[in-house]
Amino acid sequence: MGEIRKALFSDPLFLSVRESLGEVLPNKIFIFGRCITDFLFLKTPRGILLGCECDASKVVSNLCKSSDFREIPLRNRDIYHLYSKIHGGRKVTVVNIKEGIMGVLAGCGFSATAMAIDLGEPLLKLIDPFGGISSLNERKLRLTKKSALLLDPAKIFVGVELCASFGLSVSDETMLSIKDASCRLSSNITPRIWKAFSRILEAPDFTSSAKLLRNTGVLSRILPEIERIYGIPQNYYHHLGVWEHTIETISFLDDIFKETSNYFPAYGRRISKRLERSLDSGLSRKSFLLLAALLHDIGKAECMKVEPSGRIRFRGHHIAGERLVSGIARRLPIGNAGRMYLRDLVGNHMIFGFLLKRGETVKERLRAIFELGSNCPDVVLLSLADRLATRGEASTEEELERFRRLLSRVVADYFWCVETPQILDGADIIALKSGIGGKEIRENLFSIRVAQREGIISTLKEAVHFVAPEAGRNEY
């Protein structure tokens, strides 16, 4: 951990806040909470949290008057959100702390974030009443008080995210408190719970977070559908049971995120950039993809069949999984884009395995790409991670390499489809072949696209002759 003063004075947002406060600084104004922990680890915090024992509205007025800060209107007049374009949209949150800074820090829940700095003190000394520095030095997650989680079980997710972000392990006493408090959670996930869980998805090392959520009983409370796959064995294509395979799939997915260009050299950067884009509810595609990986095999519990030979099969588990995930997605406070994404990824995570069994052709690859649409690269990544986590006795390196080559061609085909315009559109087909229905129009357009990809046609004349030979001869 770095020296706090050095970290503070190297952050332009902090310097702007301190300079803007000016005349109100003799009052008790504190920086506190998670941003202090970020500064200690030399990380740039998403924003700065200010606590005011004076009137917070005066502090907000000073900030808006003296700098580039703009207020985001809220109904709660004890909390103010400000943002600054010149600081990359980072936020400053200002709150009234009527109970005093010690009361606020006790309510943080975990000693790792229960620290503050009085901006009115020239030396900017750290206020650390609950041993936050000691906990961070020992890499331990500890509570500020035993009852913290019983009073607010949502803080469990904050603790899990802190472990992932700062490499902490849970102390024995805190682990018992988390397990006791987990029974107060339900599968009806509130917006506040979802927001806290989302930060876990956005944090590094979701593999460890998923294990911790399972071991504490939290995962079974909020996603009871997952509990059914614990302890389920698999056939000789797998070296792990269903839950352990799920964890390894997430682990491989994390590796793919870090080294996407190693897996797809020509398209790695483009895939990485699209994963960072927001998909729904302010959450990135990458985070939704991790959640899909967590849920991708939940259909195996109800599809498991043991043949007389002893072989275990899970026929149709992707279909059952899609149905179960649709139910889970309806419980989440997300929009239609997020719900459809989770359903489509879980329902289609086997699509390329089936394609390989049928026999790979350009036509079959493009058919799969058209079916998946914009989610195609994400399904590719999930499928690859799923396959890399499948290393049983019957799974050979040769088969794995065939699958990887298939996925590489699918990615190349997908970006070709994105970049290469269609030669003809639906209106052209109708003009050339009057009286045909929508299904036939789509089939014609698809055939042209396949021929275009195969290099059979490349010009308008060739496309017209391909789809309507008589019209091609007459008009050209």
pLDDT at 22 over 90: no
Q: What contacts 419, CB < 8 A, 6 or more positions away?
A: none
Based on the fold, state whether residues 150 and 186 are members of the same structural domain. yes
How does residue 371 score in pLDDT terms, banded at 50, 70 and 90? very high
Coil, strand or helix: which one is 30? strand
Lowest mean pLDDT among 10-24, 282-296, 369-383: 10-24
Based on the fold, state whether residues 326 and 367 are members of the same structural domain. yes
Q: Distance between CA 193 and CA 231 in Å, rounded?
A: 27
The enclosing domain of 146 has a CATH number of 1.10.110.30
How does residue 100 score in pLDDT terms, banded at 50, 70 and 90? confident
pLDDT at 472 over 60: no
The type of residue at 268 is G
Q: Please give the share of the chain, as a percent, with pLDDT higher than 90.
A: 72
Domain total of the chain: 4
Coil, strand or helix: which one is 305? strand
Report, in angstroms and rounded to the nearest whole number, the Rg of the chain calculated over CA atoms.
27
CB-based contact 159:178 (threshold 8 Å): yes
Based on the fold, state whether residues 393 and 266 are members of the same structural domain. yes
Last residue of a domain, one of 138, 172, 191: 138
pLDDT for the residue numbered 83: 83
How does residue 476 score in pLDDT terms, banded at 50, 70 and 90? very low
How many CA atoms, within 13 angstroms, populate the side-chain half-sphere of residue 451?
20
How does residue 394 score in pLDDT terms, banded at 50, 70 and 90? confident
Last residue of a domain, one of 138, 157, 184: 138
Report DSSP letters for 175-193, one per residue. HHHHHHHHTT--SS--HHH
Based on the fold, state whether residues 230 and 376 are members of the same structural domain. yes
324: closest CA among 289, 296, 288, 285? 296
pTM: 0.91
How does residue 102 score in pLDDT terms, banded at 50, 70 and 90? very high
pLDDT at 262 over 90: yes
CB-based contact 21:119 (threshold 8 Å): yes
pLDDT for the residue numbered 235: 82
Based on the fold, state whether residues 123 and 34 are members of the same structural domain. yes
Lowest mean pLDDT among 55-64, 68-77, 104-113, 340-349: 68-77
Based on the fold, state whether residues 152 and 71 are members of the same structural domain. no
Based on the fold, state whether residues 160 and 270 are members of the same structural domain. no
CB-based contact 342:295 (threshold 8 Å): yes
Q: Distance between CA 157 and CA 25 in Å, rounded?
A: 34
Based on the fold, state whether residues 194 and 286 are members of the same structural domain. no
**Interval 365-389 mean pLDDT:** 97
Based on the fold, state whether residues 211 and 175 are members of the same structural domain. yes
The enclosing domain of 47 has a CATH number of 3.30.460.10
Report DSSP letters for 115-169, one per residue. -EEETTSTT--EE-TT-HHHHHHTTEE-BSSTTHHHH-TTHHHHHHHHHHHHT-E
287: closest CA among 122, 164, 445, 403? 164
**Interval 174-202 mean pLDDT:** 94
Task: Summarize pLDDT for 145-182 with one digit per residue, the tens.
Answer: 988 898 899 999 999 999 999 999 999 999 999 999 99
Last residue of a domain, one of 175, 198, 218: 218
CB-based contact 444:453 (threshold 8 Å): no
Based on the fold, state whether residues 383 and 252 are members of the same structural domain. yes
How does residue 471 score in pLDDT terms, banded at 50, 70 and 90? low
User: Which residue bears the tokens 């030399």?
Assistant: 42
User: Which residue bears the tokens 């014609």?
Assistant: 444
- Domain extent, residue 12, equals 4-138
Q: Distance between CA 322 and CA 345 in Å, rounded?
A: 8
